[in-house]
Amino acid sequence: MKRWNGWGDENVHYALPPSAQEYLLERLGPLNPGPDAPQSAMIAVLGASRLPPYPGLDASPLTRLLHARGQSLPDWIDLRYGRVTTFPDGVAFPTSIEEVAQALNYARRAGAAIIPYGGGTSVVGHINPLPSERPVLTLSMTHLTRLLDLDQDSRVATFEAGVTGPLLEQQLRSHGYTLGHFPQSFEYSTLGGWVATRSSGQQSLGYGRIEQLFVGGRVETPRGPLILPLAPASAAGPDLRQLVLGSEGRLGVITYARVRVKPLPEAEEFHGVFFPSFEQGMRAAREIVQGEHPVSMLRLSDALETEVTLRLVGASWATWVERGLRWIGYGPDRCLLVLALTGSRARVHRTRREVIALCRRYGGWFAGPAVGRQWQKNRFRAPYLRNTLWEIGVAVDTLETAVPWSRLPEAARVIPTAIEQAMQAQGERVLAFAHLSHVYRDGASVYVTFLFRLHPDPEVLQARWRAMKHAASLTIQQLGGTISHQHGVGLDHAPYLEAELSPLGLDALRSVFRVFDPEGCMNPGKLLSE
C-alpha cells in the first residue's frame, strides 16, 4: 500500500547504516525523530463537502485527505505535523475521456475549481487545494492507463494520460519498445503529469525531455476539446503543444498523449567515474555532450554530494572506492560522475572506449562496474531515503535550475552557499550540495539537495525552509537561471516567475488560460498567482 504521508510503498524501507547516522549527527547536530501525526487528527478538522452529489464522486474524508497534498517539503510538514487545513471537496475517478468531459461540466455547473491529479508527486504544490469560497473537485486520472495505439512504422504510441511510469513501460516493452522517460518519481508519476510539468527523465540526454517526446494528444478544456494533431513537423503557426507542455492543469485535462518511442536498446551500462575536482569533471561532461558522444545520461556530483553519497551508502564497495581514491591520490575535492551508455552492443562498446579515453584526459578514474550498478539499482529507491531521514530527524529538499556552461561553476557554488548562509543567519547548520543532472550542448541543470534538522515547532521549520528556498531562488535569478528546470512552477515558484517571463510574458499566459477557461476554474492559483 502507498504511504499516505511519505514516499512510496509502505513495505519498502531504505535502511541507513549506523555510520551514516553518526555522520549526519556530526554534520548537523543532535537529531530527534520527526513527528508522525495520525490521519484522525486531520480528518477531525475536515469540514463537510461543498459539492453536490455526482455519480462516482468520492467525498469520503480519507479520499479527500489522500488527495490534499503532494510531495513538497511544505506538504510533508503539513502531513507529518497534522496541519493540513485545505482539502478537495471530493475526488472524481473518470474511466473514459467522455467521463472526464462530463466531470468538467458537472464541476462548472457546481461553480467548483478543478484540480487535475496524476500521481500527486508534485514537489512545488501543484495539486494542493487553496482556501476558497469555491468548492474544489480533484479529478484523478488513475483509471486512465491504457495503451490506445502503437504505430510501429512511425514509432509513436498513444496512451491515456493517467498511466504511470511502470505501467507505461510494461505495455511498451511487451511490443519491444521504450519511452525512455525515467524521472526519479517514475514509480508513481504519470504521463499527463510529465507533460503538464515539462518533466525531465534521468536519461533525457539519450531519449529527450518530455517536450521532445510529446507529439500530440487531446486536452479536455472547459470550452471543449483541444486536439493536437500528429505531424512530424509543422510550420502551421506557433506550436500549440508548447502551450500544453507545462500548463500545470490550467488549460484543461490532458486525456491522452502521443509520444515518440524507441526500440528497446540491445545494451545498457551505467558507470561511475571519479574526477580529482568538479571543474575537471565538468569539462569532461561538456566535452562528451558537445562532442556528441552517444551517452544517455551524465550526472556529476560536487565534492560534498560525492562525500555524502559514499557516507550514506556505507557499504563495503563504498569503503573500497574510498581506499582506491586515497591510493591514487584524490583528495577531498573528488567528484563522482555517473554515466549511462545505451544502444546496440557495438555502439555501447565503442562509446565506452571513447568516453574512458576522454575522461582520462581530465583525470577521470573509472571505478569499475560496482558504482554504476549500485546507482542503477537505487535510481528509484533513493526517494525512500526521505522517509528514513525524517524518522531520524532530518528534512531533505531539492531545487533546480539550468544555466549556460559559462555560468555553471559559479551556479554550482553560489546556490548551495546561499542556502548555507540563510541557515547560518538562524544559527543552524545545513548540508547543501549540488550535481549537474541534465546536460545540454549549451549548458546544464544544477540540482541542489539540502538536508537540515527537523524542529518540534512546524512554524519554525517552515520558516527555515522558506528562508533557504527564497535565498536560493534569488540567487538563481541573479545568475539568470530558470526558476525550474524540471519540477515546474506550482505554488512555490510562482512568485519568481515574473522575473523570468517578464510582466508581458505573464500577461500573455494569463490571456491564453482565459481563452480556454473563461471562468478560471482550472487549477486556480497555480503557475500564475491570481
Q: Which spans of this chain sit near ligand FAD (rule: CB under 6 A)?
A: 7, 70-71, 115-123, 126-127, 141, 161, 183-185, 189-190, 192-194, 196-197, 199-200, 248-249, 253-254, 383, 486-488, 523, 526
Query: By Cβ distance, which residue is nearest to ligand FAD?
Result: 193
Q: How far is the CB of 221 from ligand FAD (least distance, A)?
A: 10
Q: Return the DSSP state at 34.
A: P
User: What is d(CA 156, CA 134) in angstroms, rounded to the nearest whole number?
Assistant: 40
Complete edge-to-edge strand list for the sheet that includes strand 224-228: 147-151, 156-160, 253-260, 214-221, 224-228
How many Cβ atoms from other residues are within 10 Å of residue 265's Cβ?
Answer: 17
Burial of 50 (0-12, 13-18, 19+ CB in 10 A): middle
CA distance 233 to 215: 9
Taking the least distance from each CB to ligand FAD, the nearer of 248 and 428 is: 248
Nearer to ligand FAD, 197 or 401 (CB): 197
In Å, how far from its chain's centre is CA 7? 13
254 or 389: whose CB is closer to ligand FAD?
Answer: 254
429 close to 27: Cβ distance less than 8 angstroms:
yes
Residue 5 or 351: the one with the smaller Cβ distance to ligand FAD is 5
Instruction: Count how many Cα atoms sit within 13 Å of the Cα of residue 176 in the half-sphere of its side chain.
Output: 5
Q: Do residues 68 and 24 make contact, with C-beta atoms less than 8 angstroms apart?
A: no
State the nearest-atom distance from the C-beta of 382 to ligand FAD, in Å. 8
Distance of closest approach, residue 408 Cβ to ligand FAD, in angstroms: 19
Least CB distance from residue 266 to ligand FAD, whole Å?
A: 25
Shortest distance (Å) from residue 190 CB to ligand FAD:
4
Three-class secondary structure of residue 23 per DSSP: helix
CB of 244 to ligand FAD, least distance (A): 8
Is the CB of 161 or the CB of 308 nearer to ligand FAD? 161
Least distance between ligand FAD and beta carbon 340 (Å): 14
Least CB distance from residue 386 to ligand FAD, whole Å? Answer: 7
CB of 290 to ligand FAD, least distance (A): 23
Q: Which is nearer to ligand FAD, 126 or 435 (CB)?
A: 126
Q: How far is the CB of 200 from ligand FAD (least distance, A)?
A: 5
Which residue type sits at 160? E
Give the H/E segment covering residue 444. Answer: strand 443-453
Q: How far is the CB of 384 from ligand FAD (least distance, A)?
A: 9
98, amino acid identity: E
Closest to ligand FAD by CB, 117 or 365: 117
C-alpha cell at 274: 571519479
Tell me the closest approach of the beta carbon of residue 358 to ligand FAD, in angstroms: 26
Q: Residue 481 or residue 488: which is nearer to ligand FAD going by CB?
A: 488
DSSP H helices, 9-114, are: 18-28, 39-43, 61-66, 73-80, 97-109
Nearest alpha carbon to residue 487 among 73, 167, 81, 83 = 73
CA dihedral 411, 417, 419, 423 (to 10 degrees): -170
| Closest to 354 measured CA to CA, from 287, 256, 436, 445 | 287
Closer CB to ligand FAD, residue 203 or residue 351? 203
Q: DSSP string covering 267-309, please?
A: EEEEEEEEESSHHHHHHHHHHHHHTT--EEEEEEE-HHHHHHH
228 three-class SS: strand
CA distance 523 to 125: 11
Q: Residue 439 pairs with which residues in a beta bridge? A: 444
Q: Tell me the three state secondary structure of residue 88.
A: coil
Task: Indicate the residue among 191 and 414 with the shorter CB distance to ligand FAD.
Answer: 191
Closer CB to ligand FAD, residue 100 or residue 367? 100
The 10 Å CB-count burial string (b at 16+, else e) for 36-49 is ebebeebeeebeeb
Residue 45 three-state SS: coil
Q: Which is nearer to ligand FAD, 127 or 472 (CB)?
A: 127
